[in-house]
A and B are shown apart, each in its own frame.
Chain A
């Protein structure tokens, strides 16, 4: 008996496997929202709805307060606006689309907790009696008060059945600027976002997550095409299983395009596609090009220059810096003509920063707050961005006790909450 029991246990262990985590987007269809009587919200309404809200019902799920921020994704002449709520609890965000039905504002979307796989639908309403009229019709700036958002949320694809209520508290903080930089274009593949890391799709999501800029990883294919990809090799962490292995630089762009799909089904994008997306589709105004290849940086520099000129011609505020993560890239950077005038972000020592005249020094957060060093950089007219801060308490500490000008995170929504909610 014991023998067979033990054999059964062994077989159980033999077939035991790793749990694959997923966080699929819920179906957010809401017939009322999609009905023919709804119309888009105006620019004035989108602006006025932004603010810090107290969560008066549903705080056990979302925390005590949330920051509402509007962002957009442009596609030619068609622009989609999103209303994001960055919540105080853990790393929870809500992303909604908004419309007006008569004198009522409707928001439909989904929520997600980034540290686990929890997600669900959410439907929010601001009725006329709850302050919608001043958001919809008042043209007086700074006149928002007494606005209450009510609604329901659910878990997974279940119908939303739990109540949530938010009350407008104050405007967003504007006294200090902080660059909120989303890691890998918006977040890592392991964060189970709707798009894979380092893709055009995730860059389009970044501002919905609260980012004002993105960090992306540049590599070069065998035939000299700059692409976005983090790891040195093709591997199951980032791509769908296809039998291809080895260094990504051993493949041509055509081979990668035709044979490789990233975890969420996307193609590996070229750097040009990524910069086009930033410039033409998003409100992002900072790009950190993290160099992951060895060899000449001239092609990267040429593309940086081209897109800075394009942005300038469009009257678009956009900063693109070449990342210097190690000594090898530092040497290659110094081989560029007139390298001291090339916008860069240097992760190395303050001496290296001065040598290349980097605009930004980017120390790893594991070195601490480094107040004196940061002040010294400021005195030299440089900015300091810290990376990669993910634990909410550490984000708050580095923001409040440090003197950083930017913060790189896998959870830009948490950075955005602490930044905009601070009085």
Chain B
């Protein structure tokens, strides 16, 4: 059966929608200043002290890693930004699947280039941890990661905020155990990079919505720690991001 809502179709629909927005960017709708809009990914100085978003991320694992089970277990996504100064924000995020979770936090420097264009640079430190205790598994793992990041934002007339975000993915440490046995995971410091396109728009009432696609190219994605894969190859992990900005 043709799956109209397959991952790649959603990704392409999103890109086509953004492209359409660009083409129709001169539509005569009211041009709301960005200060009056809610955003969480858009790299722009904050006017409010806090912004919070809840949502999900869903990542497709490559066949070479998960074999016939090309699963996409959604992870809860709690995202918060805190204004620290005119140009500084603190960005914190929790991705949770209960049995494995990732927390990232880091400072970002944000700046406007023009009325429509802005950018940020920052660095997030990440800590992932998990435990699997079921059929044949008695494993636990944890690790530190580092994500230097840059974002470029563009504001459309139609209250749409588009962000292109690029991260480098670095593994600072990985600690895994099977029973009481300490295991080794052969993963280098420089693990890969990711590139995301995220669109943020008013949704309903006072909420806004963010929807994005992130292409993660890495030889270690934290959600696969329990598979103990040894490939030194960068695989694509496509990820959908959906969030409600409260």
Closest to B181 in A: A368
Known: A3-B22, A231-B67, A232-B68. A9 touches B164 (CB 8 A): yes
- Which one of A7, A236, A368, A392 lies within 8 Å of B179 (CB-CB)? A368
List B128-168 residues whose CB lies under 8 Å from chain A.
132, 136-139, 154, 162, 164
For residue A233, give the distance in angstroms from its CB to the closest CB of chain B.
Answer: 7
Known: A117-B233, A230-B68. A7 touches B178 (CB 8 A): no
Q: In the assembled complex, which residues on chain A have CB atoms less than 8 Å from the CB atom of B186?
A: 90, 115, 391-393
List A202-239 residues whose CB lies under 8 Å from chain B.
230-233, 235-237
Binds B, one of A10-18, A60-68, A282-290: A10-18
Contact A14 B184 (CB under 8 A): no
Closest to B197 in A: A13
For residue B16, give the distance in angstroms from its CB to the closest CB of chain A.
Answer: 8
Contact B230 A411 (CB under 8 A): yes
- What CA separation (Å) do A7 and B20 show in the bound complex? 9
Quick check: is A36 within 8 A (CB to CB) of the other chain? Answer: no
Known: A19-B234, A393-B184. A6 touches B68 (CB 8 A): no
Interface of A is mostly: loop
Closest to B117 in A: A2
Quick check: is A139 within 8 A (CB to CB) of the other chain? Answer: no
Contact A6 B154 (CB under 8 A): yes
Contact B68 A231 (CB under 8 A): yes
Quick check: is A47 within 8 A (CB to CB) of the other chain? Answer: no
Contact B67 A237 (CB under 8 A): yes
Contact A115 B68 (CB under 8 A): no
Binds B, one of A26-34, A48-56, A359-367: A359-367
For residue A18, give the distance in angstroms from its CB to the closest CB of chain B.
Answer: 5
Contact A391 B19 (CB under 8 A): no
- What CA separation (Å) do A235 and B235 show in the bound complex? 19
Contact A237 B233 (CB under 8 A): no
Contact A6 B62 (CB under 8 A): no
- What CA separation (Å) do A401 and B181 show in the bound complex? 10
Contact with A along B1-37 (1 / 0, CB 8 A): 0000000000010011011001101000000000000
- Which one of B180, B228, B233 lies within 8 Å of A390 (CB-CB)? B228
Quick check: is A421 within 8 A (CB to CB) of the other chain? Answer: no
- What CA separation (Å) do A390 and B15 show in the bound complex? 39
Known: A367-B179, A394-B184. A115 touches B231 (CB 8 A): yes
Contact B236 A10 (CB under 8 A): no
List A85-121 residues whose CB lies under 8 Å from chain B.
90-91, 115-117
For residue A414, give the distance in angstroms from its CB to the closest CB of chain B.
Answer: 9
For residue A8, give the distance in angstroms from its CB to the closest CB of chain B.
Answer: 10
Known: A117-B233, A364-B137. A394 touches B183 (CB 8 A): yes
Quick check: is A190 within 8 A (CB to CB) of the other chain? Answer: yes
For residue A174, give the distance in angstroms from its CB to the closest CB of chain B.
Answer: 27
- What CA separation (Å) do A236 and B67 show in the bound complex? 10
Known: A369-B179, A391-B185, A393-B184. A10 touches B230 (CB 8 A): no
Contact B178 A366 (CB under 8 A): yes
For residue B124, give the distance in angstroms from its CB to the closest CB of chain A.
Answer: 22
- What CA separation (Å) do A233 and B70 show in the bound complex? 12
Contact B154 A366 (CB under 8 A): no
Quick check: is B63 within 8 A (CB to CB) of the other chain? Answer: yes
Quick check: is B232 within 8 A (CB to CB) of the other chain? Answer: yes
Q: In the assembled complex, which residues on chain A have CB atoms less than 8 Å from the CB atom of B15?
A: 10, 13-14
- What CA separation (Å) do A231 and B139 show in the bound complex? 25
For residue A38, give the distance in angstroms from its CB to the closest CB of chain B.
Answer: 37
- What CA separation (Å) do A14 and B231 show in the bound complex? 27
Q: In the assembled complex, which residues on chain A have CB atoms less than 8 Å from the CB atom of B184?
A: 391, 393-394, 397
Quick check: is B90 within 8 A (CB to CB) of the other chain? Answer: no
Contact B68 A235 (CB under 8 A): yes
Closest to A326 in B: B135
- What CA separation (Å) do A10 and B162 show in the bound complex? 11
Q: In the assembled complex, which residues on chain B have CB atoms less than 8 Å from the CB atom of A252?
A: none
Contact A370 B179 (CB under 8 A): yes
- Which one of B18, B67, B178, B195 lies within 8 Å of A367 (CB-CB)? B178
- Which one of A232, A366, A369 lies within 8 Å of B139 (CB-CB)? A366
Quick check: is A347 within 8 A (CB to CB) of the other chain? Answer: yes
Quick check: is B54 within 8 A (CB to CB) of the other chain? Answer: no
Known: A7-B19, A370-B179. A115 touches B63 (CB 8 A): no
Q: In the assembled complex, which residues on chain B have CB atoms less than 8 Å from the CB atom of A21?
A: 64, 233
Contact with B along A393-418 (1 / 0, CB 8 A): 11001000100000000010000000
- What CA separation (Å) do A232 and B136 show in the bound complex? 20
Quick check: is B121 within 8 A (CB to CB) of the other chain? Answer: no
Contact A397 B197 (CB under 8 A): no
For residue A251, give the distance in angstroms from its CB to the closest CB of chain B.
Answer: 16
Quick check: is B215 within 8 A (CB to CB) of the other chain? Answer: yes
- Which one of A91, A117, A236, A366 lies within 8 Å of B228 (CB-CB)? A366
List 7 A–B pairs whose Cβ atoms lie within 8 Å, in order of A's numbering.
A13-B215, A91-B230, A115-B231, A116-B232, A230-B68, A367-B178, A393-B183
**What are the 8 A-B residue pairs with the smallest beta carbon separation, nearest first?**
A368-B179, A393-B184, A364-B136, A231-B68, A190-B64, A368-B181, A237-B63, A115-B232
